[in-house]
Amino acid sequence: MAGVSRADYTLGHGSTGYRVTHYDLELDYKIGPNRLSARAALSAVAAEELDRIPLDLAGFAVKGVRVDGRTAKFTHRGGKLVVRPARPVRGEFTIEVRYAGNPRPVASRWGEIGWDELTDGALVASQPTGAPSWFPCNDRPGDKASYRVSLTTASAYTVLVTGDLVARRAGGSATTWVFERREPTAPYLMSVQIGRYDELELGAAQRLGVPRRLRAAAAHDFGRQPEMMRALSEWFGPYPFGEYVVVVTDDDLDDPIEAQGMAIFGANHVDGRRTFERLVVHELAHQWFGNSLTVADWRHIWLNEGFATYAEWLWSEAAGGASAEALARDWRSRVGTDVAIGDPGVAHLFDEQVYKRGALVLHELRARVGDEVFFGLLRSWVAEHAHGTVTTEEFIAHAERVAGVPLCDDFAAWLG
């Protein structure tokens, strides 16, 4: 089976033998029985001839597969759908998969992730390997594609999908919502939110979907988000997407979740006192670091989480709270140093050290090169890699080039 990734970080997910350029998903979801019937059409490109095409898909009955319009044989076990086309493929090709079943989260080293039922609705939280819980995909962060998602469900519910709403067709008891995600997007950053949500405008191209009972408290807790957007755009460059949608579920969540152009918070993150405001800015920062700039593989996760954590510190200072220097001094004195955050390993992928020491790396870099150079190199980093994939080595090379000083030894010490 050509091109299957065996990297420890992906746990067998994804293939390097081909890349997907576009996903077209047609989903019909029954909320009560948690039943999904679907068709997925993938446009892909293979650099070398493939007689087997591995896809990631968990927990469904596959009804049929076609490759370039021809019926294809397949096996489906252990979360892997292996397609055997009638003729080997090379260059551009298409795969169509019809499948149905009861979507559920994928078991992983980090808990159960992916499509999950709410008390009244559903959500998708896929980082890092939960995308196969609802569609067949090449599940690696470096394989970014465009998407069209059509979802039909009961008309009483609001549907929010990562992407621009391009059509909405009501048909009696069910409504079809159609979204397009034009910017290249990793599978784990695609999300579906289904619930009884009121929608509020927070600012230019910023919306909030929230249960009616939490409307007033959420409007207050997210009320400074337009100011955050302006501040982050000044520090990092223009917001990289057409809009930003925040969803507050009616259920509690352990942690907020970012998706492309979207963030999802639990009801427990809303109290009307802005107690969790640092999380609001953290998830917003991921739109630059994680979503527009996506790590080529999970070794480089500090480029997501360290940057979003440092955005918390910058916002605290800008909003009249503790300064970035004070926060850095505090965390430097108490965060552990036994994880190499530049390559933390699967067990430590979401370790506190990746977040806090990742932010400390940026603070040390800022002190080393000065504010003007530091923020300039962040803006140029974002601009040069917009909607692409990035690595630690690329960031170090970029910082050295912009700053005009050698930094490899510094980064080796900071990231080790």
pLDDT value of position 171? 86
**What is the set of domains in the chain, with CATH numbers?**
8-194 (2.60.40.1730), 198-284 (3.30.2010.30), 294-415 (1.10.390.10)
Distances (CA, A) of 374 to 131, 366, 367, 412: 35, 5, 9, 18
For the residues of 56-112, what is the DSSP string, one character each? E--S-EEEEEEETTEE-EEEEETTEEEEE-SS-EEEEEEEEEEEEE---PEEETTEE
User: Residue 121's beta-bridge partner residues?
Assistant: 118
CA distance 159 to 175: 9
**CA geometry: angle at 24 spanning 18 and 29, to 5°?**
125
Q: Is 406 left (phi over 0), alpha (psi -120 to 50) or beta?
A: beta
**Prediction pTM value:** 0.96
CA distance 184 to 20: 10
Contacts with 213 (C-beta within 8 Å, 6 or more apart), sequence order: 250
Distances (CA, A) of 163 to 60, 128, 189, 262, 276: 25, 19, 11, 9, 26
Distances (CA, A) of 275 to 28, 208, 222, 320, 402: 38, 18, 11, 15, 37
Structure-token pair, residue 24? 């077209």
> For residue 214, which of 178, 268, 291 has the smallest C-alpha distance?
268
CA distance 60 to 32: 18
Per-residue pLDDT of the chain (416 residues; tens, 9 = 90+): 334 333 468 778 999 999 999 999 999 999 999 999 999 999 999 999 999 999 999 999 999 999 999 999 999 999 999 999 999 999 999 999 999 999 999 988 888 999 999 999 999 999 999 999 999 999 999 999 999 999 999 999 999 999 999 999 998 899 999 999 999 999 999 999 999 999 999 988 999 999 999 999 999 999 999 999 999 999 999 999 999 999 999 999 999 999 999 999 999 999 999 999 999 999 999 999 999 999 999 999 999 999 999 999 999 999 999 999 999 999 999 999 999 999 999 999 999 999 999 999 999 999 999 999 999 999 999 999 999 999 999 999 999 999 999 999 999 999 99
pLDDT value of position 198? 97
